[in-house]
């Protein structure tokens, strides 16, 4: 009987968490909107009909923040006897006006639904994912400069491996459960600096070009909905030249310092190969 349901099985954090559970012989079940193997059950967080079979026999859940079906998910989790939810949320919920922000609002809605439920909930609130840099891969592979509307915007890129280890810690140590944790990488870095670090790891030029908000929005149209693009631009504008606040939460949960952005680049260098 499975004890832990890992949703979003195709995501980088979920994959890392599954590897840790496997290595420590902790029973788990993978859930995905589009299962790609016999060991993965269909669990579409927007489709409540997929919840009962995914939750059968489960006592803990690693949950991605999808607001569309959260009320139904909570209901089914309670009915299935789930005792603990670990939510991968976002530190954006801590900003003023988070409820009205399209990027933060969905995470906040899920947090509020879980807080109002009888389920014991642990919330992981990462800042910037180091993996966001993969969005630069196509430009760099083709030798074109990366287009940045705010190259001086600061972030706190956190390695997905650290998030997976943090999730493993709070899922397997009851003493750590039932709290909210804000997780960051070890450094506050601008986009320009991140590109420079990536270039040193790759051993080649990683140029960028500063573009206007309008040009960037036009380039991502069809990939990022307009309201989300505007929210991203506003966030980058607000953090332009403003270092991010850092935490030591990764080290407290995992027992080691947070991995650097350079380490992330070394781990993912192949993604940027020409």
Q: Is the four-CA dihedral 197, 201, 203, 207 of positive or negative sign?
A: negative
Per-residue pLDDT of the chain (274 residues; tens, 9 = 90+): 469 999 999 999 999 999 999 999 999 999 999 998 888 999 999 999 999 999 999 999 999 999 999 999 999 999 999 999 999 999 999 999 999 999 899 999 999 999 999 999 999 999 999 999 999 999 999 999 999 999 999 999 999 999 999 999 999 999 999 999 999 999 999 999 999 999 999 999 999 999 999 999 999 998 999 999 999 999 999 999 999 999 999 999 999 999 999 999 999 999 998 7
3: Cβ contacts below 8 Å, ≥ 6 apart: 26, 27, 28, 57, 58, 59, 60
Domains and CATH numbers, the chain: 4-126 (3.40.50.720), 128-159+184-244+257-274 (3.40.50.720)
Which residues, in sequence order, are bridge partners of residue 155?
189
User: Kind of pairing, strands 154-155 and 84-88?
Assistant: unpaired
Cα-Cα-Cα-Cα torsion 141, 33, 232, 242, nearest 10 degrees, comes to -80
109 touches 83 (CB < 8 A)? no
pTM over 0.75: yes
């Amino acid at each position: 009987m499975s004890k832990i349901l890992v949703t979003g099985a195709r995501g980088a954090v979920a994959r890392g968490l599954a590897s840790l559970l496997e290595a420590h012989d902790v029973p788990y079940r993978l859930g995905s909107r589009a299962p790609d193997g016999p060991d993965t059950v269909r669990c579409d967080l927007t489709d409540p009909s997929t919840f009962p079979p995914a939750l059968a026999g489960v006592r803990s859940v690693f949950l991605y923040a999808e607001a569309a079906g959260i009320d139904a998910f909570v209901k089914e989790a309670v009915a299935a006897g789930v005792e603990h939810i670990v939510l991968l949320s976002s530190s954006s919920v801590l900003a003023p006006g988070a409820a009205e922000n399209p990027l933060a609002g969905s995470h906040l809605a899920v947090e509020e639904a879980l807080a109002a439920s009888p389920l014991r909930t642990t919330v992981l609130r990462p800042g910037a994912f180091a993996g966001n840099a993969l969005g630069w891969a196509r430009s760099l592979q083709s030798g074109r400069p990366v287009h940045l509307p705010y190259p001086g915007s600061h972030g706190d890129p956190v390695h997905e491996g650290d998030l997976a280890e943090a999730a493993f810690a709070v899922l397997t140590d009851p003493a750590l459960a039932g709290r909210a944790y804000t997780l960051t990488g070890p450094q506050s870095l601008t986009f320009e600096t991140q590109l420079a670090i990536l270039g040193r790891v790759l051993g080649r030029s990683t140029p960028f070009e500063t573009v206007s908000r309008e040009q960037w929005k036009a380039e991502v149209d069809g990939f990022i909905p307009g309201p989300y693009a505007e929210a991203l631009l506003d966030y980058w504008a607000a953090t332009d030249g403003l270092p991010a606040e850092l935490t030591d939460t990764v080290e407290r949960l995992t027992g080691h310092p947070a991995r650097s952005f350079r380490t992330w680049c070394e781990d993912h260098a192949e993604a940027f190969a020409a």
